[in-house]
Amino acid sequence: MRIAAPETSDLYIPTKRPFNFGRWFSRTGWRHLVGAIMVVFSAFPLLYVLSASLHPGGTLITANGLFSEVDLGSYQTLFNLPQQPYAAWYGNTLLIGGITSVCTVFLGALAAYSFSRMRFIGRRPGLLMLVLVQMFPQLLAVVAIFLLLNGISDIFPAIGLDSQVGLIMVYLGGALGVNTYLMYGFFNTVPASIDEAAKIDGAGHARIFFTIILRLVAPILAVVGLLSFVGTTNEFVIASIVLITPEKQTLAVGLYQFVSQEFSSNYSVFAAGAVLAALPVMALFLWLQKYIVGGLTAGSVK
Amino acid sequence: MQSGRERTKMTHPGTERDEAQVRESKRSRQAARIAEAASAGVKTLLVKIFLLAIVDAISVYALFVLLLRADWVVFGAVLLVTLIVNWIYFSKQKLPAKYLTPGLIFLLIFQIFVVGYSGYIAFTNYGTGHNSTKQDAISALIVSSQQRVPDSATYKLTVVEQLGNYSFLVTEPDGTVSLGGTDAPLRTVTDATLDDTGKAVALPGYTSLKFNDIVANQEKIAALSVPLSDDPNDGTLRTPDGSKAYLYLSDLVYDEAAGTMTDTKTNTVYTDNGKTGSFVAADGTELLPGWKVEVGLANFAKAFGSESIRGPLISVTLWTFAFAFLSVLTTFGLGLFLAIVFNDMRMRGRNVYRVVLILPYAFPAFLSALVWAGMLNPQFGFVNQVLFGGADIPWLTNEWLAKFSIIFVNLWLGFPYMFLVCTGALQSIPDEIQEAATVDGARPFQVFRLIKLPLLLVSVAPLLISSFAFNFNNFNLIYMLTNGGPRDVTAGVNVGSTDILISMVYKVAFVGANRDYGLASAFSIIIFLLVALVSVISFKQTKALEELN
């Protein structure tokens, strides 16, 4: 025993300490408690919409019985509303958001490339201007935008009021600004020696830009494209004054008008519309999550 | 590229250097040109020409339309932009401009120009009843007070159509055939086809409308009013049925020489006083519609001078600042707290928590506000009915509770962003710093307060500023959750106690029957100045601009 004792103390490895709730709680347990509360807080409203949308013919008051009935009736009603062309809104939102985000990425990348790779007079003031412009969002000048488009529609109705092309053009006014600034930072991280190597091999500036640089900066393009898509989907102010015909409106405008007319009685149909509207955005968001977290810290806000 | 060339220069020593440099740069320029020409293939050139051709075709079309409308200012602007674009893209140099121009054009029109245009509108009376030019207002006034002249002659009518526009082909009682449209007074035509009764039924170049066409476009045709001559006082022809037209005369008569409008029934004379952009009688009665005029500082005088607008404007401004500040404070507070809580390596399932916690951020914001508006509904909402057991708490209709609800919902919307940002910032702080502090005997809270928080604030301060700027104009949340309400009934404009400046602008300009673009633009200018002030202060504080290179 006398000899064995030090041996065992040497060999004894405490594989598992006895579970002590107090110690566990003070170290990580309370974190799980906070986490559980926050999970309820953040997920509950989303579950509430989902349950409301599955409640057939539901009003606001029946939506309170969570998941008491499950039925897809509201989704069918949604696509057969006489006054509200939901499918058209959905298509318009995807179309306007898609075109705007692709064009935004393209215009922003062009500008960021020139700011990052070329030296020219007015470069620094130009960058400074982009930083300042992002402090003044377009919606501040919403009255002037409306009157400008009103004036344009006297001359070219195709890009004036009640035209989706006109709306996209207005959105593209905000394409430079924060996006370019985000991309500029990322372009700078791509070594200029890559450009030079390509140049020596005989590539022109356009070839370098389209075939080399754009591929190397793909992550930031994804982030800017997504943020621009989400921003366009959420945009209400300008869309609501430009698009007048119901068939041309976006989800934000259409759903708001739908729900503000008869708030409590249409709730399950609205909820069904909301669930479907949120799906593409949320899917994109969770899919590109890791890129976004990086892009966010580089300076953009929801 | 530039630094590379400089390096080559450095290798040439002494006096030879300058000579070599000249030769070198000449030759390298030549080489660069050859390389450029060799690399730009025929395909690229074709694409370039094709794109420019599209741009030019659109511009030429625009110029043609503008020429017809004699809109010279816009014509000049379009011509100038087209020429500049062509010059830039056909030039061998101007590389930066080639990359910047597409984005800059949109930026200049839809972001910079509209700001200046807001400034101009703020000095006009643009709005309901003052939408157009004086000439349009006069014709609108005369048309609106038209009445059929009793026992006047009946004109036989054929409605004809050309390029989607309707015109009247009328046969006067004496057999003269004339043609006219809404914008074109009657003129005599000679080549019309007549039927047995002597009624003109067709005209070369025009399609005569059949009976069912007339029925299908009844409303449009009934709204047509064709002036008899260039003088609006002569009256117009209108048709109730599409086959007969009658002379309509207005009660109002415009005297062009005196610039006055006279009501022939009451013999009231309305004069243009040159200030309000409308005809005003001696007793102050105004004829509407009027027209757009520049009114100087009247909109600003209205905003700051009249008690019923100044009061709401001040309270809305204060609430805008309070809302933006409290939003940043609450979301940052909760986000930071959660980032610290979940930034512990010993904790399991952190990724699961993270995914669930960013769900509110991924959900489209306008929908979140509408969903919360449903949940907080006083009579039927989940919060009152289930959480508070059927209580009747006016979450969205009491002034202070509505403000609280807005901050609360914005906390739900905004904390995930701050959580993500703070997590990133915390993880980028090196562990050694914390270890050193612990070795020096700092307690965990001291480590956080004295070391981590200052380091964290350095990296997130610019984001807090942009978050403030964003919430300053967080229109969607306010408008969708409370619609700015509860409404302040004593205010002279449509404004409520949770309205922020931008939602007030929107309501004044676009909600309700009485739209006042001038006043709304004056409010916009005030927001611009406030935002500029905030940005100047914050940029000075963070020195963010100094990092720009």
Which residues of A are less than 8 Å from B4 in CB distance? Answer: 196
pLDDT at A301 over 50: no
Give helix then strand counts, H and E, for chain A. 17, 0
Query: What's the CA dihedral at B41, B46, B49, B50 to 10 degrees?
Result: -150
Minimum distance, in Å, between the CA of residue B249 and any CA atom of chain A: 29
Which residues of B are less than 8 Å from A233 in CB distance? Answer: 364
Minimum distance, in Å, between the CA of residue B18 and any CA atom of chain A: 24
Asked if the C-beta of B260 comes within 8 angstroms of chain A's C-beta atoms, the answer is no
Which residues of B are less than 8 Å from A181 in CB distance? Answer: none
SS3 B178: strand
Minimum distance, in Å, between the CA of residue A11 and any CA atom of chain B: 26
| Peptide bond before residue B486 is cis, with ω within 30 degrees of 0 | yes
- Centroid of chain to Cα B329: 30
What are the structural domains, with CATH classification, of chain B? Answer: 19-121 (no CATH), 134-287 (2.40.430.10), 318-498 (1.10.3720.10)
Determine how β-strand B154-162 pairs with β-strand B200-202: unpaired
- Give the Cα separation of A131 and A118 in Å (integer): 19
Would you state the pLDDT for residue B45? Answer: 81
| Peptide bond before residue B289 is cis, with ω within 30 degrees of 0 | yes
Q: What is the largest CA-CA distance in chain A?
A: 105
Nearest to A299 among B414, B462, B473 (CB): B462
Over residues A203-208, the mean pLDDT reads 85
pLDDT at A44 over 50: yes
Asked if the C-beta of B211 comes within 8 angstroms of chain A's C-beta atoms, the answer is no
Say yes or no for a CB contact (<8 Å) between B107 and A148.
no
Fill in the amino acid letter for B525.
I
DSSP class of A158: G
**pLDDT of B332-341, one tens digit each?**
999 999 998 8
Which residues of B are less than 8 Å from A241 in CB distance? Answer: 510
ipTM of the complex: 0.86
Long-range contacts of B161-167 (CB under 8 A, 24+ apart): B161/B206, B161/B207, B161/B208, B161/B209, B161/B213, B162/B205, B162/B206, B162/B207, B166/B209, B166/B217, B166/B220, B166/B221, B166/B224, B167/B206, B167/B226
Nearest to B509 among A114, A143, A196 (CB): A143
Q: How far is CA B480 from CA A52, A246, B219, B360, B421, in A?
A: 19, 19, 37, 16, 27
- Give the Cα separation of B233 and B256 in Å (integer): 10
Band (pLDDT 50/70/90 cuts) for residue A286 is: confident
Q: Is residue A170 within 8 Å of residue B111, measured between CB atoms? A: no
Minimum distance, in Å, between the CA of residue B178 and any CA atom of chain A: 28
Would you state the pLDDT for residue B378? Answer: 83
Would you state the pLDDT for residue B83? Answer: 93
Say yes or no for a CB contact (<8 Å) between B359 and A48.
no
Asked if the C-beta of B104 comes within 8 angstroms of chain A's C-beta atoms, the answer is yes
Over residues A220-225, the mean pLDDT reads 87
Which residues of B are less than 8 Å from A240 in CB distance? Answer: 510
Q: Is residue A98 within 8 Å of residue B80, measured between CB atoms? A: no
* Element at B473 (helix H, strand E): none
**Is pLDDT larger for residue A128 or for residue B7?**
A128
* Element at B224 (helix H, strand E): none
pLDDT at A84 over 50: yes
Would you state the pLDDT for residue B270? Answer: 80
Which residues of B are less than 8 Å from A146 in CB distance? Answer: 509-510, 517
Say yes or no for a CB contact (<8 Å) between B111 and A174.
yes
Q: What share of chain B is helix, strand, coil (3-state, %, to 5)?
A: 60, 10, 30
DSSP class of A18: P
- Give the Cα separation of A273 and B6 in Å (integer): 62
Which residues of A are less than 8 Å from B475 in CB distance? Answer: 139, 236-237
**Residue of B107, B386, B499 best to disrupt the A interface, most CBs of A under 10 A:** B107
Band (pLDDT 50/70/90 cuts) for residue A41 is: very high
**pLDDT of A164-205, one tens digit each?**
999 999 999 988 877 888 888 889 888 889 989 998 888 888
Would you state the pLDDT for residue A142? Answer: 92
Average pLDDT over chain A, rounded to an integer: 84
- Give the Cα separation of B207 and B161 in Å (integer): 5
Q: Which residues of A104-118 are buried (b: 16+ CB within 10 A; e: fewer)?
A: bbbbbbbbbbbbbbb
Say yes or no for a CB contact (<8 Å) between A301 and B470.
yes
Tokens of B164: 């989607």
DSSP class of A141: G
> pLDDT 10s per residue in chain B (549 long)?
344 333 333 333 444 445 555 555 677 767 666 666 655 567 778 888 899 999 999 999 889 888 888 888 889 999 999 999 999 888 877 888 889 998 999 999 998 899 999 999 999 888 887 877 777 777 777 777 777 777 777 788 888 877 777 888 888 777 778 888 877 787 888 777 777 777 777 777 787 877 777 777 777 777 777 887 777 777 778 787 777 788 777 777 777 777 777 777 777 778 777 777 778 877 777 777 778 888 888 888 888 888 888 888 999 999 999 999 999 999 999 999 999 888 877 788 888 888 889 899 889 999 999 999 988 988 888 888 888 887 888 888 888 999 999 999 999 999 999 998 898 888 888 888 888 988 998 888 888 888 888 888 888 887 888 888 889 999 999 999 988 878 888 887 888 889 999 999 999 899 887 888 999 999 999 999 998 888 888 877 766 555 554
Minimum distance, in Å, between the CA of residue A12 and any CA atom of chain B: 24
Would you state the pLDDT for residue A172? Answer: 93
- Centroid of chain to Cα B468: 22
Please name the residues in contact with B424: beta carbons below 8 A apart, sequence gap of 6 or more. A293, A294, A296, A297
Which residues of A are less than 8 Å from B341 in CB distance? Answer: 31, 34-35
Minimum distance, in Å, between the CA of residue B111 and any CA atom of chain A: 6
pLDDT at A15 over 70: no
Among A238, A261, A246, A262, which residue's Cα sits nearest to residue A86?
A246
